[in-house]
Amino acid sequence: MSHAWLKQYPDVVGPTIDIPENMCIASLLETTCKTFASRNALTCMGTSITFRQYERLSNDFAAYLQNEAQLGKGDRIAIMLPNIIQFPIALFATNKIGAICVNTNPLYTPREMKHQFVDSGAKVIIILDMFVDKLQEILKDTAIETVIVTSIGDQMPSWKGLIIDTVLKLKGQVPKHTLNVTSFKSALKSGHGKSFTKPRMTLDDVAVLQYTGGTTGPSKGAMLTHRNVIANVKQIQAWASPYVKAGEEVILTALPLYHIFALTVNFLSFFTLGGEMILVPKPVPIINTVKIFRKYRITVMTGINTLYNALNNSEEFKATPARHLKFALAGGMALQSSVAEAFAKLTGTQVIEGYGLTESSPVTHCNPLHIPIPHGSIGVPVPSTVAEIRDEQGKVLPVGEVGELAIKGPQVMAGYWKKDDETKNVIRDDWLFTGDMARMDEKGFFYIVDRKKDMVLVSGFNVYPNEVEDVIQSHPKVLEVAVVGIPDEHSGEAVKAFVVKKDPSLTEEELKAYCSKQLTGYKRPKHYAFIKDLPKSNVGKILRRELRDLKS
pLDDT at 215 over 50: no
In this prediction, residues 418-431 reach a mean pLDDT of: 94
Count of C-beta atoms within a 10 Å radius of residue 413: 26
Together in a domain, 347 and 442: yes
Provide the terminal-to-terminal Cα distance of the chain, rounded to the nearest Å.
Answer: 53
- Angle between helix axes 86-96 and 51-67 (nearest 10 degrees) is 60
Contacts of 27 (CB under 8 A, 6+ apart): none
How far is the C-alpha of 458 from the C-alpha of 532, rounded, in Å? 27
Which pLDDT does position 157 carry in this prediction? 81
Q: For residue 290, list its beta bridge partners.
A: none
- Inside any domain, residue 435: yes
Which CA distances in Å does 165 have to 158, 160, 432? 10, 9, 45
* 344 membership: H or E segment, kind and range: helix 337-347
Which CA distances in Å does 256 have to 81, 435, 520, 540? 9, 24, 39, 10
- Inside any domain, residue 44: no
How far is the C-alpha of 484 from the C-alpha of 494, rounded, in Å? 8
Identity of the amino acid at 551: K
pLDDT at 159 over 80: no
DSSP 119: H
Together in a domain, 441 and 535: no
Together in a domain, 238 and 343: yes
pLDDT at 511 over 80: yes
Together in a domain, 441 and 326: yes
3-state class of 226 per DSSP? helix
Together in a domain, 170 and 240: no
- Inside any domain, residue 13: no
Count of C-beta atoms within a 10 Å radius of residue 429: 7
Range of weakest confidence among 174-178, 422-426, 457-461, 531-535? 457-461
Which pLDDT does position 213 carry in this prediction? 60
Mean pLDDT computed over every residue of the chain: 93
- Inside any domain, residue 26: no
Nearest Cα residue to 90 out of 250, 208, 246: 208
Together in a domain, 107 and 167: yes
Which pLDDT does position 552 carry in this prediction? 52
Count of C-beta atoms within a 10 Å radius of residue 212: 18
Encode burial over 363-399: b for 16+ CB neighbours within 10 A, e otherwise. Answer: bbbbbbbeeebeebbbbbbbbbbebbbbeeeeeebee
Together in a domain, 93 and 235: no
Q: Which of 451, 481, 504 is the last residue of a domain?
A: 451
pLDDT in tens, 190-208: 999 999 999 999 999 999 9
Together in a domain, 441 and 310: yes
How far is the C-alpha of 341 from the C-alpha of 121, rounded, in Å? 46
In this prediction, residues 401-406 reach a mean pLDDT of: 95
CB burial of residue 424 (10 Å; 0-12, 13-18, 19+): exposed
Range of weakest confidence among 10-24, 170-184, 373-387, 495-509? 170-184
3-state class of 50 per DSSP? strand
Together in a domain, 481 and 416: no
User: Between vectors from CA 132 to CA 191 and to CA 362, what angle results, nearest 5°?
Assistant: 75
| Residue spans of beta strands (DSSP E) within 184-270 | 206-211, 221-225, 250-253
Q: Per-residue DSSP letters for 394-414?
A: SPBPPTT--EEEEEESTTS-S
Q: Which of 451, 469, 488 is the last residue of a domain?
A: 451
Confidence of residue 217 (pLDDT cuts 50, 70, 90): low
Together in a domain, 286 and 138: no
Together in a domain, 446 and 325: yes
Q: What's the structural domain count of the chain? A: 3
Which pLDDT does position 214 carry in this prediction? 46
- What does residue 24 show for φ and ψ, rounded to 5 degrees? -140, 175
- What does residue 161 show for φ and ψ, rounded to 5 degrees? -60, -40
Q: What is the CATH number of the domain that holds 242?
A: 3.40.50.12780
Q: What is the CATH number of the domain that holds 477?
A: 3.30.300.30
Q: Which range of residues forms the domain containing residue 411?
A: 228-451
Confidence of residue 453 (pLDDT cuts 50, 70, 90): confident
pLDDT in tens, 363-394: 999 999 899 999 889 999 999 999 999 998 99
Which pLDDT does position 551 carry in this prediction? 57
What is the CB-side half-sphere exposure of residue 73 using CA atoms within 13 A? Answer: 10
pLDDT in tens, 20-30: 999 999 999 99
How far is the C-alpha of 40 from the C-alpha of 251, rounded, in Å? 12
- Inside any domain, residue 38: no
pLDDT in tens, 345-363: 999 999 999 999 999 999 9
Together in a domain, 305 and 441: yes
Which pLDDT does position 46 carry in this prediction? 93
